[in-house]
């Protein structure tokens, strides 16, 4: 539920991106994408302040506050009449709500599991992918039938029971520990930053996220400009998220058996190869559908495996501090990635897919580089090929 309200909606921003491209043709793609970038940035990077506040008020209160902010953002979004208001309402306000909720879905569930954490993370993040299936369809259908304003009001009303359910069913196994004498106010262990392996896996997540969001945000616009079959124009974002749902659970299961780094390397290599091999050559409905399915599946793996590797490097008491820093790095990438990707695409009503080949190369190269960092991390443990790690 929490993943659906936070990361799931961020995953669906591609539908809003396309709507704003047509509504505000004089505004560049990179500027519009900043709205979604802010959402993604806050969703990840607010893990640090949200974790600090959680120590004092508990995770349920943080989820309630985040849910209220998200609800209000949709209500205010229905009243907007200028582009700058989109940045404030949908970018900052919803981002604050999403970021306040997001990290507690992982933190609380990890309290119940000492083993199979990769599988657990996969199941958790699958909630975001499931939401990424129904939110884009719902948003687009509502906009077509009742208009932009009422579409967002309806979503805001839907968030009310979802928030209440999340607060009621979120049951932490452990109560937040009291502040120890001499412990800093933030209760974060900054000594984890000295661990170079944590720095390396955080770099991996930064580079991967830098490639992930441009793909998610612009695949819908790509389908429109290529003028693929109407069904694919409508359902491309849900297709990417649907296959990513299964691809987040299965890699987690495989990672716990064959080694998280081993499996993560395979999926990261795929996220790099597929844009270079397929996206750059997409020129019809069939090839575009093939790319949406394969890249959606490949991109789902690192989302669940990379955080699990971070937890593997620093388990135990340092886990909260480790994840807070890890997701903060991802937040920075989520902020700048779509803007960089959007700079390749001409603004306004443009015929054809000019600029998307450069975007595909950008996404592909970053995927390969992120795979290289995990290979380096694995080699720091062992250079033997058939070893579970």
The more confident residue out of 230 and 93 is: 93
DSSP 250-301: HHHHHHHHH-HHHHHHHHHHHHHHHHHHTGGG--SHHHHHHHHHHHHHHHHH
Q: What is the pTM of this model?
A: 0.86
Q: Output the six-digit token pair for 70.
A: 């998200």
- Calculate what percentage of the chain has a pLDDT beyond 70: 91
- Of 121, 106, 389, 120, which Cα lies nearest the Cα of 257? 389
Higher pLDDT, 114 or 40: 40
The predicted-structure confidence for 49-100, as pLDDT tens digits, reads as follows 887 787 778 888 889 999 999 999 999 999 998 899 999 999 999 999 999 8
Domains and CATH numbers, the chain: 2-171+188-381 (1.20.1250.20)
The arithmetic mean of pLDDT across residues 1-5, rounded, is 87
Q: Is the pLDDT assigned to residue 118 strictly greater than 70?
A: no
How far apart, in whole angstroms, are the C-alpha atoms of residue 215 and residue 364? 10
């Amino acid at each position: 539920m929490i993943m659906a309200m936070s990361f799931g909606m961020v995953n669906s921003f591609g539908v809003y991106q396309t709507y704003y491209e047509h509504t505000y043709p004089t505004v560049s793609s990179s500027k519009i994408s900043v709205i979604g970038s802010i959402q993604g940035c806050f969703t990840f990077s607010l893990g640090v302040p949200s974790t600090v506040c959680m120590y004092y008020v508990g995770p349920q209160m943080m989820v309630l506050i985040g849910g209220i902010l998200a609800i209000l953002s949709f209500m205010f979004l229905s009243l907007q009449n200028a582009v700058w208001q989109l940045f404030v309402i949908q970018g900052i306000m919803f981002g604050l709500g999403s970021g306040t909720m997001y990290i507690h879905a992982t933190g609380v569930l990890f309290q119940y599991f000492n083993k199979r954490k990769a599988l657990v993370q996969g199941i958790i993040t699958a909630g975001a992918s499931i939401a990424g299936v129904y939110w884009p369809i719902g948003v687009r259908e509502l906009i077509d039938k009742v208009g932009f304003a009422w579409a967002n009001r309806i979503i805001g009303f839907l968030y009310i029971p979802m928030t209440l359910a999340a607060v009621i069913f979120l049951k932490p196994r452990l109560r937040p520990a009291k502040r120890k004498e001499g412990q800093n106010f933030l209760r974060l262990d900054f000594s984890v930053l000295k661990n170079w392996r944590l720095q390396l896996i955080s770099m991996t997540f930064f580079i991967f996220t830098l490639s992930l969001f441009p793909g998610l945000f612009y695949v819908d616009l790509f389908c429109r400009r290529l003028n693929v079959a109407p069904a694919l124009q409508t359902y491309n974002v849900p297709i990417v998220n649907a296959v990513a749902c299964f691809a987040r659970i299965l890699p987690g299961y495989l990672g716990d058996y064959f080694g998280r780094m081993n499996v993560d390397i395979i999926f990261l290599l795929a996220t790099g190869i597929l844009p270079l091999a397929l996206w750059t050559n997409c020129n019809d409905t069939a090839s575009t559908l093939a790319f949406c399915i394969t890249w959606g599946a490949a991109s789902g793996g690192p989302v669940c495996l990379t955080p699990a590797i971070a937890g593997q490097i620093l388990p135990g008491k340092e886990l909260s501090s480790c994840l807070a820093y890890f997701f903060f790095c991802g937040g920075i990438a989520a902020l700048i990635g779509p803007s960089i990707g959007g700079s390749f695409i001409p603004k306004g009503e443009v015929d054809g897919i000019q600029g998307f080949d450069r975007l595909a190369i950008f996404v592909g190269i970053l995927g390969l580089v992120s795979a290289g960092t995990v290979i380096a991390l694995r080699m720091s443990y062992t250079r033997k090929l058939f070893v579970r790690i």
